[in-house]
């Protein structure tokens, strides 16, 4: 089976690639496992190919049709579309966000349509599609009201994927991801970047700024569980999705104070003292518009699972990254 | 004040133009009445200019930037964007629907952004943005789940207008219109065309096919009230709309059987006998996915009003068109 990951050089793209290569197979649309024969990693920068002969890396701008035509052919059976401009950057550069989060997503669907073989396509979406006055628990039938350009672009991509699926151009599914925490690596331009930073940097002996109030409620998913959900989401039976291709993934609802308490529980007081509290109204406005919890019954009925506790998430991060606590 | 109507040669565009010319003024963004100095009617065909020197007609494809740049300048204070590919046609010709309902709407917003003066822009949307499993009464916070490409394209245009408004590029508002009935003229390619045809044709002494079951519930608004709502919607204070620029317009919820009973009440048995019942699964599928009623409290709080009864709507149509009942 031939598989494409866009954003294949990114953090989730690389984790997903490593997991797919380790598993060595993916279920086809009929539910039968098929050996992974080619994994294309497309990104605007060169992706790591893990020295694996099944990997082909492609470098290019996914908002250009020729780049997508090179990456997708009539044998591409599954596409994980992870490439995106993150929330903070899409707010700062409107045209860039529209170009990558909207135009490239549509172009990808159009190239699939042109190929004509109805590949499975998985889009990732976000808590940011919600906003405005929200119920305490967001339901599957709660209206979207994004309060950021990133959220609007993701909501539009969801609508496109739903319609392209309904028309039979692709077999699509969208997973709305909670905020992913703890991400390894460096801070990025996502408004939610601090949700990893306030755990990761203190564990590395560095200071981290927390730009929101401790009572701010977040909806979180660990990278480990996110990767499991991406694969399970792509393998879902299309019939079970019917006319609603969008799924809210399970998460854990924690306040920033509770995140800090979990860090204290796992790593001690000295580590927690490295968090510097310094409000940033720009970040507070975007993050504060997101839901702190949503109803995940549909995803759970379909077998998708989140984390147990945020302390466990921190322990998983420490284990994955080989961090030694002094 | 300079005003633009796209779809200015269409049925609603022409009715709106006539009403604006008769009123002679429109409130500005501060709520002060301003004389209508220029009314641009843009359409793909030549619009009637009513022999009024305030009217300028423009013929062109609104999916082309140069056409919109000719129609919108830094003095264009209000834009009614009515041009659209109707539901049945957008389902039959996917690319045409995407080009007009999505690309042209985005281009219009982009030309406004480029002009930089934040004009008021009104989009019309539709019951077709809803679909799937719906509550009996659709609420303002009910999720969209369009089951037609037309509905998906309208939902996307709503998201774009909301985000362009939030960013201050335009001062936008979207009115979700019930199905408009009774429309004068000829049948069109809208899946809902019959909702006017089964009244209009029998009143004209002609047969009309009803392609759906009598129990099918529709959500209707008369052309008279639609025009009143379009003008009131454009004149709404932006502050009252806040971060949610989309309004579900009031309608009346009637079954097709109740529509026929109202026709019998107004025009008698002989007229009703001209309705031919002949199911069309293609039409039933699209129309059956639309809501039969929605909560209109927000629109009503803002002063927007619908009709009293469908019999009154038929009487209004007979009066407007000068039809004599034998």
**Position A257 confidence tier, pLDDT thresholds 50, 70, 90:** very high
* Nearest residue of A to residue B141, measured between CA atoms: A143
- Indicate yes or no: CB of A162 within 8 angstroms of CB of B146: yes
Which parts of chain B register pLDDT below 70?
A: 326
Domain that holds residue B157: 2-178+222-248
| Residue range A292-309: mean pLDDT, rounded | 93
Per-residue model confidence (pLDDT) at position A42: 98
Is residue B190 situated within a structural domain? no
- Residue B232 inside a domain? The answer is yes
* Residue A292 banded pLDDT, cuts 50, 70, 90: confident
Does residue B234 fall inside a structural domain? yes
Cis peptide before A182 (omega within 30 of 0): yes
Chain A residues lying within 8 Å of B140, measured CB to CB: 143
Q: What are the helix (H) ranges across chain B?
A: 11-23, 65-71, 87-92, 94-97, 105-115, 149-166, 194-203, 223-235, 238-241, 256-267, 269-272, 281-288, 297-301, 310-321
Whether B201 is in a domain gets the answer no
Closest residue to B167, CB basis, from A149, A156, A159: A149
Reference B129, options B142, B112, B111; nearest CA is B142
C-alpha angle with apex A194: A189 to A197, nearest 5 degrees? 105
- With a pLDDT cut of 90, the percent of chain A lying above it is 90
* Average pLDDT rounded to a whole number, residues A124-146: 91
Residue pair A120/A77 in contact (Cβ under 8 Å)? The answer is yes
Quick one: tokens of A285? 């406005």
A23 CA to chain B: closest CA distance, Å? 35
Q: Please write the tens of the pLDDT for every residue from B270-289.
A: 999 999 999 999 999 889 88
Whether A63 is covered by a domain: the verdict is yes
Give me the percent of chain A exceeding a pLDDT of 70. 100
Q: Which residue of A has its CA nearest to B131?
A: A243
- Residues A46-60 have pLDDT tens digits of 999 999 999 999 999
- Chain B closest-CA separation from residue A71 CA (Å): 23
Residues of B near A (CB-CB distance < 8 A)?
94, 131-133, 135, 140-147, 149, 152, 155-156, 159-160, 162-163, 166-167, 243-244
A326 pLDDT above the threshold of 70 = no
Residue at B307 is within a domain: no
What H or E segment, with its residue span, contains residue B99? Answer: none
Q: Which residue has the tokens 């009910």?
A: B142
Q: Which of B109, B154, B156 to mutate to test the interface with A (most CBs of A within 10 A)?
A: B156
- For chain A, the domain total comes to 1
Mutate to test the interface with B, among A158, A163, A248 (most CBs of B within 10 A): A163
Q: Is residue A115 in some structural domain?
A: yes
The whole-number pLDDT of residue B213 equals 95
**Average pLDDT of A92-108?**
98
| φ, ψ at B43 (rounded to 5°) | -160, 170
DSSP state of B249: P
CA distance B163 to chain A (A): 6
Of the CA atoms within 13 Å of residue A229, those in its CB half-sphere come to 30
Contact A159 B152 (CB under 8 A): yes
Give the active site residues of A.
Answer: 150
Q: What is the pLDDT of residues A173-196, one digit of tens each?
A: 999 999 999 999 999 888 999 999
Give the closest residue to A122 by CA, choosing from A152, A83, A67, A150: A83
Question: In a 10 Å sphere around its CB, with 0-12 CB exposed, 13-18 middle and 19+ buried, how is residue A308 labelled?
Answer: exposed
DSSP state of A103: I
Token duo for residue B297: 């409290």
Q: Do A143 and B147 touch (CB under 8 A)?
A: no
Asked if residues B225 and B307 have their Cβ atoms less than 8 Å apart, the reply is yes
B206-251 per-position pLDDT tens digit: 999 999 999 999 999 999 999 999 999 999 999 999 888 999 999 9
How far is CA B289 from its chain centroid? 18
* Residues of B catalogued as catalytic: 150
Residue of chain A whose Cα is closest to the Cα of B244: A145
Which residues have a Cβ under 8 Å from the Cβ of A142 and sit 6 or more positions away?
A: A130, A134, A135, A294, B141, B143
Query: Strands B179-180 and A252-255: what pairing?
Result: unpaired
Q: Which residue of B has its CA nearest to A156?
A: B156
CATH code of the domain covering residue B37: 3.40.50.720
A33 close to A25: Cβ distance less than 8 angstroms: yes
Say if the Cβ atoms of B143 and A140 lie within 8 Å: yes
Q: Which of A94, A132, A141 comes nearest B244 by C-beta?
A: A132
* CA–CA gap between residue A199 and residue A293 (Å, rounded): 21
Q: CA of A139 to nearest chain B CA: how many angstroms apart?
A: 9
Query: How many other CB atoms sit within 10 Å of the CB of residue A147?
Result: 22
Q: Which residues of A79-117 are buried (b: 16+ CB within 10 A; e: fewer)?
A: bbbbbbbbbbbbbeebeebbbbbbbbbbbbbbbbeebee
Residue B326 confidence (pLDDT) = 65
Residue A140 has pLDDT above 90, yes or no: no
Q: What is the mean pLDDT of residues A3-31?
A: 97
- What is the spatial distance between Cα A306 and Cα A221, in angstroms, rounded to a whole number? 6
Q: Which helix (H) or strand (E) holds A106?
A: helix A105-115
Dihedral, A287, A290, A295, A296 alpha carbons, nearest 10: -60
């Amino acid at each position: 089976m031939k598989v494409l990951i866009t954003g294949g050089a990114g953090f989730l793209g690389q984790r997903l690639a490593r997991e797919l290569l380790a598993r060595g197979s993916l279920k086809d649309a009929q539910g039968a496992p098929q050996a992974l024969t080619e994994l294309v990693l497309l990104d605007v920068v060169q992706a790591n190919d893990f020295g694996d002969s099944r990997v082909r890396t492609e470098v290019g701008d996914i908002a250009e049709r020729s780049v997508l035509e090179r990456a997708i052919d009539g044998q591409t059976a599954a596409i994980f579309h992870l490439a995106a401009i993150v929330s903070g950057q899409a707010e700062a550069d409107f045209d860039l966000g529209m170009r990558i989060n909207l135009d490239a997503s549509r172009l990808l669907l159009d190239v699939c349509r042109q190929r004509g073989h109805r590949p499975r396509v998985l889009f990732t979406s976000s808590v940011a599609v919600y906003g405005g006055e929200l119920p305490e628990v967001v339901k599957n039938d709660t209206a979207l009201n994004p309060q950021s350009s990133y959220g609007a672009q993701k909501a539009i991509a969801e609508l496109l994927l739903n319609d392209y699926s309904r028309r039979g151009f692709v077999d699509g599914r969208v997973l709305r991801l909670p905020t992913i925490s703890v991400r390894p690596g460096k801070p990025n331009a996502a408004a939610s970047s601090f949700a990893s930073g306030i755990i990761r940097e203190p564990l590395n002996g560095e200071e981290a700024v927390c730009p929101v109030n401790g009572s701010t409620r977040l909806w979180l998913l660990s990278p480990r569980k996110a990767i499991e959900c991406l694969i399970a989401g792509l393998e879902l039976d299309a019939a079970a999705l019917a006319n609603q291709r969008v799924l809210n993934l399970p998460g854990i609802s924690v306040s920033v104070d509770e995140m800090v308490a979990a860090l204290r529980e796992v790593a001690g007081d000295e580590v927690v003292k490295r968090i510097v509290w310094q409000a940033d109204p720009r970040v507070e406005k975007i993050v504060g518009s997101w839901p702190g919890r949503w109803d995940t019954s549909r995803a759970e009925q379909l077998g998708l699972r989140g984390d147990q506790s945020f302390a466990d998430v921190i322990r998983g991060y420490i284990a994955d990254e080989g961090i030694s606590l002094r």
